[in-house]
Chain A
Amino acid sequence: DSGVTQTPKHLITATGQRVTLRCSPRSGDLSVYWYQQSLDQGLQFLIQYYNGEERAKGNILERFSAQQFPDLHSELNLSSLELGDSALYFCASGGSSYNEQFFGPGTRLTVL
């Protein structure tokens, strides 16, 4: 157990819908990273937050957005969902003075 929690574990929804994925980092970690894992694209970095502020952006679509709250949990919002958004979404957390990132169990999103 990495200490990073993600909810829900599974999500099944229809095209055009909007969903919110939630992540709570390990105690003491200030950074949250979101990654998408799909069969064709592999594991791809989406976005990073550090202590409530956006720190870095990767290949995140404009239909996707994220935020980190004062209690340091983070939410990833996916809107106007398409079939191709079906994937495993992981968050990872990291500390402020070292490099390690620890992954949560992931949310499996299925868009029908």
Chain B
Amino acid sequence: GENVEQHPSTLSVQEGDSAVIKCTYSDSASNYFPWYKQELGKRPQLIIDIRSNVGEKKDQRIAVTLNKTAKHFSLHITETQPEDSAVYFCAPMEGGGSQGNLIFGKGTKLSVKP
């Protein structure tokens, strides 16, 4: 099965700084790589995702980069704001189909200090 490791487990930044979270996975058949944001007691929210036919995707202050050869993908948040404080999960999809279960990393708790 898929092994997923996410680093760091906690990250504290000043408002306006950038934050980077890295995720490594083991299943070379994985072809879908989402990032979820979860606020305390709430549902995981899909914030950005990338498929294996592209190397980078950007959506305003958030970007995801993928290195399929090295089996890792990263979440980049620029100009961080206090409302970015949450736990972020990477969740590569197991297997290479169009549907499959997500294997979640253990999460990164991001704190943005005003």
Contact = CB atoms under 8 A, between A and B. Distances in A.
- State whether these chains interact: yes
Interface stretch (B12-20, B64-72, B92-100): B92-100
A97 B98 CA distance: 6
Interface residues of B, number: 23
Contact of A101 (B51, B102, B105): B102
Interface stretch (A14-22, A62-70, A72-80, A102-110): A102-110
Contacts of B36: 103
B60 interface: no
B8 interface: no
B10 interface: no
A97 B103 CA distance: 20
A43 B34 contact: no
Chain A interface main SS type: strand
Interface of A: 2, 31, 33, 35, 42-45, 48, 50, 55-56, 58, 90, 94, 96-106
27 contacts: A2-B45, A31-B99, A33-B101, A35-B104, A42-B106, A42-B107, A43-B89, A45-B101, A45-B103, A48-B99, A48-B100, A48-B101, A50-B99, A96-B98, A96-B99, A97-B98, A99-B34, A99-B93, A100-B34, A100-B46, A101-B34, A102-B46, A103-B44, A104-B43, A105-B42, A105-B43, A106-B43
